[in-house]
A and B are shown apart, each in its own frame.
Chain A
Amino acid sequence: MSLRDVLSPYTAWKHLFEAPVTIKDPIGREAAERYRGFHQNDLSKCIGCGSCEDICQNAAIDMVPVSDPKTGDSGLRPMIDYGRCCWCALCVDVCMTGSLTMSNEYTWVDSDPDAFRFTPGVDLKSWDAEEKGYKRENNERRLTGTHRPEMGMLEPEARIASFGEIVHGYTRAEAVIEADRCVECGLCVATCPAHMDIPDYIRKVREGDYEGGLKLLYETNPFSQTCGRVCTHACETACAAVHEGDAIAIRWLKRDITDNVPRERYFDLISKPDVPETGKKVAIVGAGPGGLTTAFDLARAGNEVVVFEALPKPGGMMRYGIPEYRLPYDVLDHEISVIEKMGVDIRCNQRIGTDITLDQLKKDHDAVVLSLGLNQGRSTRVPGSEEAESAIDLLRRITAGDKVPVPKQVAIIGGGNVAMDIARSMARLQRQKHGEVGVTVTALEDFDHFLADDEEVEEAREEGCVIYDARGPQEIVVKSGKVAGLRTWKCKAIFDAEGRFAPKYDASDEMVHPAQMVVEAIGQSADISLLGAELTEKLEWNRGRIRIDQNGRTSEPWLWAAGDLVSGPDVIHAVADGHRVAKSVSAMLQATRETH
């Protein structure tokens, strides 16, 4: 012990006159740039997917309804209870749209404890516009995957050589990666016309339980194999993942399930329920997706179901409208065989109105369901159009194996998916016959408003089709009784100020596309001649479509309508229609059983 040890502690006094380091008034001290303070929610981005609620381990987030939701979202927004929030910001990290962020505001005094429970963005706060605060670095969503594995496909050279299926389907590893990205928000379920259990069957893919997945698929869709290939997948536009990256490949994952269950197992897994026969008979006109879904449901409920199909094989537009390279026929055959296994009697080559009358059907059955496809092509009615082919008619003939003319140059009028289908089908036939492709597509819409799917356009181009946008057909040039080309003008506008179809053209920008065949693919309508004049008169109509109630029943109590005739046109709407009609028919049959 020394004198130094006694005096040394007094050196602390040198701090005596220094300014205090404590902050007199800490309220209002600005926090750091990336501080995790009170939340902000950009309502223009938030879709209410609830991923923030899922990840919050404190259950501090409740999804609550708001009065002005956007279409396609859940109508819910996160309400945060700051009595529970631990400021971990996982909700910000997991947010699927990047709408949820945190300000650097953290001091707030209020005597009302309930004030600390509010819905950011809805309940306006002073920090809503604060730019400082916690944001994801580079706005990257790192807690869930953002991009789908690329789908394996045939190379353009290989696929143009035949009508073989283009898409390979995912490998197991790819399917797991893709299924893993789903956050199970369920926005897709509401968007799907048939309300398929999408998050649940995606989970089955993840878990590798394909048989369980198939059972789930068939609960809502007896055309899952078809939809797994050609569905218009509205679900993917509603998918939460689409806002920052790719939507979950819902359609391909559905296909992954159906491809991974051996075909013979379908008949064990999708067995007919053990229900008593009702003794009721239902006739269904048209063996497309709508009619067959109705048949599937009604047969499983114990009714005797007969499906009348005018064409040689069942499937409707799925078979005669969709080219084989998108939907192989054996897939469709198998799918329909599962439906037949339920006891559905499908009678092909039975045209109602010709082979058997609708009155006869009405007499012989307790209910009749009309499920007609849009099998008549519309015409442009431009000069020479009587020489044009109809896309839908050509597609049917190609499927049926009929001989169709295959000239070296073909011009297509139309820019929708049917136009692409016929363009690509003709391209294949040209390749087989002439060794090269000579297809020109002329669409009224410009590329910014194109009707066909992007992938269809891209693939058609890869296969050698030439696509012109904003071209309006003026004349099908006929020379010596033979088609010689298609004359088009530049289309400046399609609709008038009131939104009516009234295309305006620039006559100075004229093109003549040389072609020995011109195909019109500008839309289809249903052939309703089978109804007969009397019934047509009796039925109520709505802008050319049969008027139906919310259950698919027409104004005639014995007649229902489903499929492209009343909605769509696509497979999944027809399936949804089929379920709706089957439910309604079942209810009616049940009621008559109870009253008689």
Chain B
Amino acid sequence: MMFNLKTDRSQYPQPGPDGKLEIDLETGKYLKLWQGPNHPGITGNMSVELTVCGDEVVAGKTHVGYLHRGFEKLMERRSFIQVFPIVCRVCVPEPDFNEYCYAAAVEELAGIKVPELANWMRTLILEMGRFNSYMMFLGGISGALGLGVVGQWMTYVRDLMLDRFEELTGARIYHMFILPGGVRGHLPDGFAGRMEEVLRTAEKYLADVEKVMFRNAVYKRRTKGIGVIDPKLFEPYGVTGPNARAGGVAKDLRKDAPYLVYNELDFEVQTGKDSDIHTRVDVRYRDIHQSIALIRQILQKMPKDGPVMAKIPNVLHWQIPRGETYIKGESSRGEYGYYLVTDGSGYPRRINVRGPSYTHAMALLEHLIPGTNISDVAQLMVSLHTYPPEIER
């Protein structure tokens, strides 16, 4: 049995011979309940239309569209350099992946070789972004379970990392630092030392999280064995990243298709077995520690000097030859990719963003919801670690 169902199910609707539920709202047995789009137990602006019977959800439908900004279309009317400030906005909590994927796609099609130091800086930024994304996740999952204090701690730690982002890139949220051709600048003086302070503080707080969350009886009760994703669903539902790794799939693009400088770094793919909420959080928790280790490694191994920008054509009338490419990488949520088509003009013909949240938050969640308790919907949803801005684009 996948879910903690009550033993006496006589009051609950019985599936017909075809396995489908006949839900007749007129009977008064069922209640329609909207969770979202503005709800503390929801990840961003999306909503789930629940049909409940008692406190059990019998059907759930995901609704998106609250955050559609039309970025992909917008980008078709922007020159290649003008797309650069837009892409980071596709995904608010982990914007750097967009910057990297877009820049790498443009560089490939335009035949630009990025200086080595720029690749190290990009890797550093992506790991800092991953760390921050996980901070939001930990705060989110603990919040969904009523552990508000963890959210406060994580916000604080994330803010410290944002300080490092600010001094490195010149901005806290939308960094706009990874330009096609390289990155905008070198590390500020003394950056590594200040970063080390942040990482130590993070480790201290993470140790507290371990005690408050992972060694918490209530947390265990509410996450173990709940929201299990059958590994058989990984393939058809396009499940990637920690969601799949928690089900024993040791897939990580940083290892499987190394990009930037990942093949020069030592790290392991974090996996789990049970595929439930608890394991998914645990895998991410270990991934955070790995990101911390990676940041340290990068700062230690990266070249101390060198150019960070390749020579690029005049961006005001930059035309890129006809071509198409797909650039992917392992974001904190799974496979993140940019499909870019160029037609020889000064504008992208098509940009398509492949965000892992699209599959995880819509189809997969809809599949997982029936049979859960209303109070578990929030943590189930958050445990998939999805970001609506990246679904909507």
Are A and B bound to each other? yes
How far is A55 from B217 in the complex, measured between Cα atoms in Å? Answer: 56
Q: Say whether B312 contacts A143, CB under 8 Å.
A: yes
| Cβ of B343 to closest chain A Cβ, rounded Å | 15
Chain A residues within an 8 Å CB radius of B167: 32-34
How far is A42 from B153 in the complex, measured between Cα atoms in Å? Answer: 43
Q: Say whether A34 contacts B185, CB under 8 Å.
A: yes
Q: Which label, helix, strand, loop or mixed, suits the secondary structure of the B interface? A: helix
Q: Say whether B314 contacts A142, CB under 8 Å.
A: no
Q: Say whether B315 contacts A9, CB under 8 Å.
A: no
| Cβ of A244 to closest chain B Cβ, rounded Å | 14
Q: Say whether A90 contacts B84, CB under 8 Å.
A: yes
How far is A145 from B311 in the complex, measured between Cα atoms in Å? Answer: 9
Chain A residues within an 8 Å CB radius of B313: 145, 180
- Closest chain B residue, CB of each to CB of A87: B171
Which residues from 1 to 38 on chain A have a C-beta closer than 8 Å to any C-beta of chain B?
Answer: 1, 4-6, 8-9, 11-12, 15, 21, 31-36
Which residues from 67 to 117 on chain B have a C-beta closer than 8 Å to any C-beta of chain A?
Answer: 78-79, 81-86
Say if the beta carbon of B304 comes within 8 Å of chain A: no
- Closest chain B residue, CB of each to CB of A133: B170
How far is A206 from B312 in the complex, measured between Cα atoms in Å? Answer: 16
Q: Say whether B314 contacts A90, CB under 8 Å.
A: no
Q: Say whether B217 contacts A5, CB under 8 Å.
A: yes
Q: Say whether A94 contacts B315, CB under 8 Å.
A: yes
Chain A residues within an 8 Å CB radius of B230: none
Which of B170, B184, B218, B313 has most A Cβ within 10 Å?
Answer: B170
Q: Which of A6, A9, A57 is B86 in contact with, Cβ under 8 Å?
A: A57
Chain B residues within an 8 Å CB radius of A86: 85, 174
Which residues from 45 to 87 on chain B have a C-beta closer than 8 Å to any C-beta of chain A?
Answer: 78-79, 81-86
How far is A75 from B323 in the complex, measured between Cα atoms in Å? Answer: 42
Chain A residues within an 8 Å CB radius of B181: 142
A142 with B215: in contact, given A55-B316, A57-B86, A88-B85 (CB under 8 Å)? no
The stretch from A167-175, A181-189, A365-373, A512-520 touching chain B is: A181-189
Chain A residues within an 8 Å CB radius of B171: 35-36, 87
Q: Say whether B156 contacts A21, CB under 8 Å.
A: yes
Which residues from 177 to 208 on chain A have a C-beta closer than 8 Å to any C-beta of chain B?
Answer: 180-184, 203, 206
How far is A90 from B185 in the complex, measured between Cα atoms in Å? Answer: 14
Q: Say whether A55 contacts B315, CB under 8 Å.
A: yes
| Cβ of B312 to closest chain A Cβ, rounded Å | 7
How far is A409 from B81 in the complex, measured between Cα atoms in Å? Answer: 60
Chain A residues within an 8 Å CB radius of B19: none
Q: Say whether A9 contacts B82, CB under 8 Å.
A: no
A88 with B84: in contact, given A32-B167, A36-B170, A144-B315 (CB under 8 Å)? yes
Which of A4, A142, A181, A203 has most B Cβ within 10 Å?
Answer: A142
How far is A4 from B84 in the complex, measured between Cα atoms in Å? Answer: 51
Say if the beta carbon of B277 comes within 8 Å of chain A: no
A9 with B216: in contact, given A90-B85, A182-B314, A183-B314 (CB under 8 Å)? yes
How far is A360 from B17 in the complex, measured between Cα atoms in Å? Answer: 115
Which residues from 316 to 369 on chain B have a C-beta closer than 8 Å to any C-beta of chain A?
Answer: 316-317
Say if the beta carbon of B149 comes within 8 Å of chain A: yes
Number of interface residues of B (CB under 8 A): 45
A8 with B314: in contact, given A34-B167, A88-B84 (CB under 8 Å)? no
How far is A142 from B184 in the complex, measured between Cα atoms in Å? Answer: 10
Q: Say whether A34 contacts B188, CB under 8 Å.
A: yes
Say if the beta carbon of B176 comes within 8 Å of chain A: yes
Q: Say whether A1 contacts B188, CB under 8 Å.
A: no
Say if the beta carbon of B208 comes within 8 Å of chain A: yes
Chain B residues within an 8 Å CB radius of A36: 170-171, 176
How far is A33 from B317 in the complex, measured between Cα atoms in Å? Answer: 32
Which residues from 147 to 163 on chain B have a C-beta closer than 8 Å to any C-beta of chain A?
Answer: 147, 149, 153, 156, 159, 163
Q: Which of B82, B169, B211 is A8 in contact with, Cβ under 8 Å?
A: B211
Say if the beta carbon of A392 comes within 8 Å of chain B: no
Q: Say whether B85 contacts A137, CB under 8 Å.
A: no
Q: Which label, helix, strand, loop or mixed, suits the secondary structure of the A interface? A: loop
| Cβ of A455 to closest chain B Cβ, rounded Å | 25
Say if the beta carbon of A389 comes within 8 Å of chain B: no
Q: Say whether B215 contacts A12, CB under 8 Å.
A: no
Chain A residues within an 8 Å CB radius of B221: 1
Looking at chain A, what size class is its interface with the partner chain? 35 or more
- Closest chain A residue, CB of each to CB of B313: A180
Which of B181, B211, B221 has most A Cβ within 10 Å?
Answer: B211
Q: Say whether A88 contacts B220, CB under 8 Å.
A: no
Interface string of B129-163 (1 = CB under 8 A from A): 00000000000000000010100010010010001
Chain A residues within an 8 Å CB radius of B86: 57
Q: Say whether B176 contacts A89, CB under 8 Å.
A: yes
Q: Say whether B312 contacts A142, CB under 8 Å.
A: yes
| Cβ of B388 to closest chain A Cβ, rounded Å | 20
Chain B residues within an 8 Å CB radius of A206: 317
Say if the beta carbon of B166 comes within 8 Å of chain A: yes
How far is A181 from B316 in the complex, measured between Cα atoms in Å? Answer: 9
How far is A11 from B163 in the complex, measured between Cα atoms in Å? Answer: 28
How far is A57 from B79 in the complex, measured between Cα atoms in Å? Answer: 8
- Closest chain B residue, CB of each to CB of A104: B170
Q: Say whether A180 contacts B215, CB under 8 Å.
A: no
Say if the beta carbon of A345 comes within 8 Å of chain B: no
Say if the beta carbon of B226 comes within 8 Å of chain A: no
How far is A142 from B181 in the complex, measured between Cα atoms in Å? Answer: 10
Q: Say whether A8 contacts B170, CB under 8 Å.
A: no
Say if the beta carbon of B186 comes within 8 Å of chain A: yes
Q: Which of A1, A9, A203 is B211 in contact with, Cβ under 8 Å?
A: A9
- Closest chain A residue, CB of each to CB of B165: A32
Say if the beta carbon of A440 comes within 8 Å of chain B: no
A12 with B314: in contact, given A34-B188, A36-B170, A57-B82 (CB under 8 Å)? no
- Closest chain B residue, CB of each to CB of A140: B309
Say if the beta carbon of B269 comes within 8 Å of chain A: no
| Cβ of A593 to closest chain B Cβ, rounded Å | 46
Chain B residues within an 8 Å CB radius of A182: 314
Say if the beta carbon of B23 comes within 8 Å of chain A: no
- Closest chain B residue, CB of each to CB of A177: B313
Q: Say whether A180 contacts B212, CB under 8 Å.
A: no
Q: Say whether A181 contacts B314, CB under 8 Å.
A: yes
Chain B residues within an 8 Å CB radius of A184: 316-317
Chain A residues within an 8 Å CB radius of B315: 55, 94, 143-144
How far is A94 from B86 in the complex, measured between Cα atoms in Å? Answer: 17
Say if the beta carbon of A456 comes within 8 Å of chain B: no
Could you jot down 12 A-B contacts, CB within 8 Å?
A: A1-B217, A6-B217, A8-B211, A34-B188, A36-B171, A57-B78, A57-B86, A144-B314, A145-B314, A181-B314, A183-B314, A183-B316
Nearest 3 CB-CB pairings of A with B: A88-B85, A57-B82, A8-B215
Q: Apart from A34-B185, A55-B81, list 17 A-B contacts with CB within 8 A.
A: A4-B215, A5-B216, A5-B217, A9-B211, A11-B211, A33-B167, A35-B170, A36-B176, A55-B315, A86-B85, A87-B176, A88-B84, A89-B176, A94-B315, A137-B184, A137-B185, A142-B309
